[in-house]
Amino acid sequence: MSHDRPHTAAPLDDPDAKRMLNEQLFTAIAPNYDRINRLLSLGRDAVWKDQLVGALPDLEAPRCLDLACGTGDITLRLAGRYPRGLIVGLDLTEAMTDLARRRSTADNVEFVRADMCEMPFPNAHFDIVTGGYAIRNAPDLDKALAEIHRVMKPDAVAALLDFSKPAHRVAQILELAMIRLWAGFWGLVFYHKAGLYTYIAESLRRFPDTGQLRDILHRHGFTDIRSRRHFGGLAETLFFRKS
């Protein structure tokens, strides 16, 4: 990715262009990704991930998939929570999976480079699917959810943490402006380029609001949808089940 060329919003409307933009963007920010994540969330991100993994069902040796695993924050927590389980971290960006592999000392974890819209796993393979800031990045949300549904066993559980868009238009405008400013500030501090971090607001603007997302999950065959809200609803973890 050219660091000098601010990325435009238009590629986010085209699945192939969004996939390519994501790979370029996350390759560029991988080295500072964890540090900026902590600063962006005022240190809360790690707590939300602890809570997500802590709220998963007690299973002896589950197969777990961590979507868009990045540097492995949730993947490695899963490995600790389920030492007899098999944990797969999946991500599109090699720079991210490389960092995750370097961080990992667990022997029950593997990292796979793939697109969440086309996953290299058999049907009904996983007991648990997690994702931190995952499906908002999907080149095609419906394809990603169909894939998630396909690879989950019947009754398997999913937990997805992400920014959450309120349904009310004015609240949306305020939230997106705040995220754009705050994330842009850290883009400026680390890269002298606010544009690298305006992706969060741009992708969230195109993403369904919290109510619409529940409807979409229902339509894809997921049930028992529960939410744990963070920062007054700015972010949330959605827990649901494959029916």
Residues near ligand SAM (CB under 6 A):
19, 22, 26, 37, 68-70, 73-74, 91-93, 96, 115-117, 132-134, 137-139
User: Min. distance of Cβ 87 from ligand SAM in angstroms?
Assistant: 13
Q: In which residue are the tokens 């390519």 written? A: 20
CB of 225 to ligand SAM, least distance (A): 20
> Strands (DSSP E) along the chain, which ranges?
63-67, 86-91, 109-113, 126-132, 152-163, 222-230, 235-242
User: How far apart are alpha carbons 238 and 13 in whole angstroms?
Assistant: 24
Min dist. Cβ of residue 168 to ligand SAM (A): 25
Instruction: Specify the residue, 74 or 87, whose C-beta has the smaller distance to ligand SAM.
Output: 74
Q: Looking at beta carbons only, is 24 or 210 nearer to ligand SAM? A: 24
152 Cα distance to chain centroid: 17
Q: 8 vs 243, which CB is nearer to ligand SAM?
A: 8
Cβ 119 vs Cβ 151: under 8 Å: yes
Q: Please, which residue, 65 or 84, has the CB nearer to ligand SAM? A: 65
Ramachandran class of 155: left when φ > 0, alpha when ψ lies in -120 to 50, beta otherwise: left
CB of 98 to ligand SAM, least distance (A): 11
